[in-house]
Amino acid sequence: MADDKQNIWMRMLIGQRPLFTFVRAILLAGVCVWIFRFVFIPVYVRGDSMLPTYRDGQFGFANSLAFRSQEPSFGDVVVIEMNGRRTMYLKRIVGLPRETVDFRNGNLFVNGEVVPEPYVVEPTDWTVPPETLGPREFYVVGDNRTMPWHAQTMGVVDRERIVGRIMF
């Protein structure tokens, strides 16, 4: 009787054809490694630059296929490759190619017009000189505007460094 129970459990775990089950497990593991290395890239948030939208210690994924068929757009939260895939930043796009972006008294201006930012809870008195973007450049900044602007990693980013759109 005990031997029958053991056989039932072995069949449930391994199946009637162990080699076939082993090959399926190896293929599934390979697909999972590929997906989580090249498609859904794990992201661990460190720092407060994206508060209150994303908190320090939060975990999620970046979809690297998000911008294959379309370009990033205003307001997208993107992952930016800084030094290979070991160091990446999480920032919001506030300026698109060929636009002029600046901050005056804490307000975002794009092409000379003020742009509302509902995701910013506490605006500050940032004043950043205008910067005109090139044909493949985007302007990125964190949502935490209580930090002094010089303490943020922000500014112009080349399109090739944008890895994907964040998915939490």
CB-based contact 102:131 (threshold 8 Å): yes
69 and 146: one domain? Answer: yes
108 and 74: one domain? Answer: yes
Q: Give per-residue pLDDT as tens, 117-162.
A: 998 888 788 889 999 999 999 999 999 888 887 777 889 999 999 9
* Residue 126: domain span: 45-167
- pLDDT for 88 equals 86
CB-based contact 107:113 (threshold 8 Å): no
Per-residue burial over 69-89, b = 16 or more CB atoms within 10 Å of its CB, e = otherwise: eeebeeebbbbbbeeeeeebb
Q: Give per-residue pLDDT as tens, 51-105.
A: 889 999 998 899 999 998 899 999 999 999 987 777 788 999 999 999 999 999 9
92 and 49: one domain? Answer: yes
CB-based contact 50:153 (threshold 8 Å): no
60 and 102: one domain? Answer: yes
15 and 72: one domain? Answer: no
153 and 97: one domain? Answer: yes
161 and 103: one domain? Answer: yes
111 and 34: one domain? Answer: no
Asked which of 9-13, 44-48, 103-107, 161-165 is least confident by mean pLDDT, the reply is 9-13
pLDDT band at 44 (very low <50, low <70, confident <90, very high): confident
The domain total for the chain is 2
33 and 68: one domain? Answer: no
Pairing of strands 100-104, 128-132: antiparallel
pTM of the model: 0.81
95 and 143: one domain? Answer: yes
CATH number at residue 154: 2.10.109.10
124 and 58: one domain? Answer: yes
95 and 149: one domain? Answer: yes
